[in-house]
Amino acid sequence: MIQYRENRLRGVDWNDLESLPPAERAPYFMNGKSVYHVLFAQQFDREFLDRICELATRTRRIAKTRGGMMFLKELLAEKRAMLYFAQPSSRTFLSFLASCEILGLRSGEVRDSNTSSEMKGESPEDTVRTFSSYFDMIIMRHPQGGFAERIAWLLSNSERPIPVINAGSGADQHPTQALLDVYTLQRSFEGQGGIEGKRIAFVGDLARGRTVRSLATLMTHYPGVHLSFIAPPALQIDEGILRTLDSAGIAYELGENLVGKLPDLDAVYMTRIQDEWDTEGESEAIDVSAYAITVERLALMKDSAVIMHPLPRRSEISPEVDSDPRAKYWRQVRNGMWIRAALIMNILDRAGEVDRYYDDLVS
């Protein structure tokens, strides 16, 4: 087990914790000065974001040689991670699996709670607590917002605290997707003064898309960005996120007209309609073609603009757009593997070893 230097969750009442706003809950999930449980985007500050992006870049450079790959493979060879995905996933699941493999971390998986003892009436809390007896870390996706947080609290109050990473919680948060999105933006704007000052639009289902909620929250660390939330009125971003942006002094606007906005944008973050959350097919009436990038619309965008999507996509981006250098969504997938590897080594306290290996490599 990793040394849990400062377990601030021990003895804390769950209801008291849950009633705090995210920014005030965040310190409880730290291990001293570093992240331990990774649950929501409000846990990350700018220093952490810069550090984790740098660590991801160092890791991918180390991995360019066989010797480097073998070094990484040894890094966490004595650890085990549980991948508990109680909601559909292919990208995020495989991304975490690949990052565990890069670091030599062995993994177990439950992807269908029908195959676990939950079917025998066990509570999900007990199921996850069982995992903690066999594993050193839990990476979990769950349909219920806040569930990963409750598990983190539960385990931190058990005799075997192990870190929990939220790989998507309901319509609520997707903090590791937000990390890979920031990493992609940072790399895309490297030669253009960074993310600061850029005009970024979020398009599609902003009410129920958890990736947007997490990424928009992280934009508060990039002064001068201007955000546009472009969505059908029924699927607009919620007030809570806008209040967060207000208090950070981030400029934003809400609208419905994507085409009119395209020439001004430095980045466009497309999302699909999340109709799995519909109660009575209410999204069927939406004209999704108004919130899509086609080859014709691509012509309206700046040459330096970037197009992102957390995937899976439907008709929001025509496949013909894929070959355009502005399309970055396949890069996002690759970046996700490296940023998750960086995050895992950070949580399990091995980042220093990677830094030393890297320094030797470049000296």
Residue 142 engages ligand NCD in binding (rule: CB under 6 A): no
Measured from the CB of residue 176, what is the shortest distance to ligand NCD in angstroms? 9
| CA 10 to mean position of chain CA atoms | 26
Which one of 33, 66, 120, 279 is the catalytic residue? 120
Tell me the residue nearest to ligand NCD as measured from the CB: 310
Residue 92 engages ligand NCD in binding (rule: CB under 6 A): yes
For residue 161, which phi and psi values (nearest 5 degrees)? -70, 125
Which one of 58, 60, 150, 174 is the catalytic residue? 174
Q: Does 92 qualify as catalytic in the annotation?
A: yes
Measured from the CB of residue 341, what is the shortest distance to ligand NCD in angstroms? 17
Among 124, 168, 170, 175, binds ligand NCD (CB under 6 A): 168
Q: Is 325 exposed, middle or buried (0-12, 13-18, 19+ CB in 10 A)?
A: exposed
Among 177, 184, 214, 228, binds ligand NCD (CB under 6 A): 177
Q: Does 174 qualify as catalytic in the annotation?
A: yes
Residue 170 engages ligand NCD in binding (rule: CB under 6 A): no
Among 116, 211, 228, 346, binds ligand NCD (CB under 6 A): 211
Residue 124 or residue 168: which is nearer to ligand NCD going by CB? 168
Residue 334 engages ligand NCD in binding (rule: CB under 6 A): no
Residue 272 engages ligand NCD in binding (rule: CB under 6 A): yes
Q: Does 91 qualify as catalytic in the annotation?
A: yes
Residue 311 engages ligand NCD in binding (rule: CB under 6 A): yes
Residues contributing to the site for ligand NCD (CB under 6 A): 91-92, 168, 174, 177, 210-211, 272, 274, 310-311
